[in-house]
């Protein structure tokens, strides 16, 4: 093929940015509290899906809407189905943004908005690759189904429903990670640890509530504790010294007769907890040095003792490493404590082959036997790996090398993409390996140059994979 993919992709920059901006303005975080019959996952995910399908309809593609939870854009012809698996939902915006997360801002060659890098930016790049091929009248000798999900950041309702009622692709890529390729993904499971009642003498301080975390797949950026009782005279001075020592931000304010303590860390994707600063475990570690009531003291003390700064699970005895897939990771992600009410911590674990969701749960349950009951929360996903000698992987790596001049190589991540839903499914881009990964963080952005390069890479890949 003599077409210069980079030159052709460059022609679409203005239109691509216009379409991407329209998508980014939609707050498409899962919102089942406001679900309706025609918006099963909330209005935002539905609206983003409809907008993406409307873009494809405008450009002359055949589309299909599956119950407002998934959609399909069609191209090519052939008995074999090549899938492109993207998603229009986003994680909640959270706090810490310097701009409105749903009013895209272009600055220094980057577009800032929630979803810019996960996954609206990469998905629009893959879409424009299909459009480039269509506009150049390039025949695709396999059927291409660009499948759009609306619940990738949570329970995969959309993609699972799609596969129940629509044909399953024979092989697929997901534009939802990094170049050069992601051909292995660790298993993903969340556990809820529900604390048991404890007896003991009450201290001078009572923990009224402790809240932190938005989703299982996010390192919590903020944490808040409300306490009652007599605080030491130098409590605020100790807190400020703690913040300064660990380069954190926080505040202490009155809340009626009680005191509210806020701490700000750094949010990040739970696949690598070291990339973030867990506000909850830092706050619990500070509070654990004070004399709390038995129940509250047990809660913050356990977090401080067994969950703080231990992303590989050594303290909870679940650490494990596989030669190919690497380390198990653990992210204490959602915290909920109320006096005389809930006392839970949700732990998000990414595990390699060699252990299972149940074997890890059993170890956690043993470690926490005197403290908490541990159950699996939601849907668990096992490890996934497509061998490097598979033609899908080999072709994609060759495309990457030809388009970038860089050496391709296999990668395994702790993140989860739609690539894992198929036996021959991988994640492919769109984030260059050398770029900072700001998915799930405040002030999420993507370099516009990277989106444009991804269009060219995806167009070449789609062409080669449909010969």
Q: What are the catalytic residues?
A: 89, 152
Distance in angstroms (rounded) separating the CA atoms of residues 32 and 327: 34
Q: Is 231 helix (H, G, I), strand (E, B) or coil?
A: coil
Distance in angstroms (rounded) separating the CA atoms of residues 327 and 65: 39
Alpha helices by DSSP H, listed for 323-444, are 357-367, 391-404
Distance in angstroms (rounded) separating the CA atoms of residues 292 and 70: 49
Distance in angstroms (rounded) separating the CA atoms of residues 457 and 134: 16
Q: Is 423 helix (H, G, I), strand (E, B) or coil?
A: coil
Phi, psi of 51 (to 5 degrees): -65, -40
DSSP string over 280-315: HHHHHHHHTTS-B-HHHHHHHHHHHHHTTT-TT-TT
Strands (E), 33-160: 62-66, 70-75, 81-87, 105-107, 110-112, 143-149
Task: Kindly state the helix (H) or strand (E) to which residue 12 belongs, with its residue range.
Answer: none
**Which has the closest alpha carbon to 447: 459, 431, 428, 434?**
431
Residues in the chain: 467
Label residues 184-210 b or e (16+ Cβ within 10 Å = b): bbbbbbbbbbebeeeeeeebebbbbbb
Task: Kindly state the helix (H) or strand (E) to which residue 161 belongs, with its residue range.
Answer: helix 157-165
Task: Kindly state the helix (H) or strand (E) to which residue 443 belongs, with its residue range.
Answer: none
Distance in angstroms (rounded) separating the CA atoms of residues 123 and 225: 39
Classify residue 150 by its DSSP letter.
S
Q: Enter the tokens of residue 437.
A: 């990964």
Classify residue 415 by its DSSP letter.
S
């Amino acid at each position: 093929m003599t077409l210069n993919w980079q030159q052709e992709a460059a022609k679409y920059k203005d239109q691509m940015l216009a379409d991407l901006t329209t998508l980014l303005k939609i707050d498409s975080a899962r919102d089942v509290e406001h679900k309706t019959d025609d918006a099963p996952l909330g209005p935002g995910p539905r609206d983003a899906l409809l907008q993406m399908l409307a873009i494809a309809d405008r450009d002359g593609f055949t589309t299909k809407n599956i119950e407002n939870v998934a959609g399909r854009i069609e191209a090519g012809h052939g008995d074999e189905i090549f899938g492109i698996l993207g998603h229009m939902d986003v994680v909640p915006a959270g706090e810490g943004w310097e701009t409105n997360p749903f009013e895209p801002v272009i600055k220094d060659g980057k577009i800032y908005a929630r979803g810019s890098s996960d996954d609206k930016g990469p998905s629009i790049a893959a879409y424009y690759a299909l459009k480039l091929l269509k506009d150049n009248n390039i025949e695709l000798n396999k059927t291409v189904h660009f499948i759009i999900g609306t619940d990738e950041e949570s329970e995969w309702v959309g993609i699972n429903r799609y596969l129940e009622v629509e044909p399953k692709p024979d092989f697929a890529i997901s534009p939802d990670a990094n170049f050069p390729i992601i051909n292995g993904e660790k298993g993903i499971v969340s556990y809820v640890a529900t604390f048991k009642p404890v007896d003991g003498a009450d201290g001078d301080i009572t923990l009224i509530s402790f809240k932190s975390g938005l989703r299982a797949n996010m390192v919590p950026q903020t944490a808040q504790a409300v306490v009652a009782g007599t605080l030491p005279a130098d409590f605020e001075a100790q807190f400020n010294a703690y913040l300064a020592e660990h380069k954190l931000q926080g505040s202490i304010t009155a809340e009626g007769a009680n005191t509210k303590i806020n701490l700000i860390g750094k949010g990040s994707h739970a696949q690598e907890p070291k990339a973030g600063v867990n506000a909850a475990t830092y706050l619990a570690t500070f509070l654990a040095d004070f004399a709390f009531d038995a129940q509250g003291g047990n809660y913050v003390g356990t977090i401080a003792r067994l969950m703080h700064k231990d992303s590989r699970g050594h303290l909870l005895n679940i650490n494990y490493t596989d030669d190919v897939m690497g380390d198990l990771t653990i992210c204490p992600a959602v915290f909920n404590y109320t006096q005389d009410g809930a006392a839970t911590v949700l732990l998000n674990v990414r595990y390699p082959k060699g252990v299972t969701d149940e074997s890890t749960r059993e170890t956690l349950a043993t470690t926490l036997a005197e403290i908490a009951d541990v159950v699996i929360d939601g849907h668990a996903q096992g490890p996934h790996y497509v061998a490097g000698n598979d033609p899908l992987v080999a072709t994609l790596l060759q495309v990457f090398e030809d388009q970038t001049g860089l050496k391709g190589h296999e990668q395994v991540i702790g993140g989860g993409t739609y690539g894992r839903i198929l036996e021959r499914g991988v994640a492919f881009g769109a984030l260059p390996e050398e770029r900072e990964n700001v998915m799930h963080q405040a002030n999420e952005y993507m370099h516009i140059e990277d989106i444009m390069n991804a269009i060219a890479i995806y167009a070449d890949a789609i062409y080669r994979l449909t010969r």
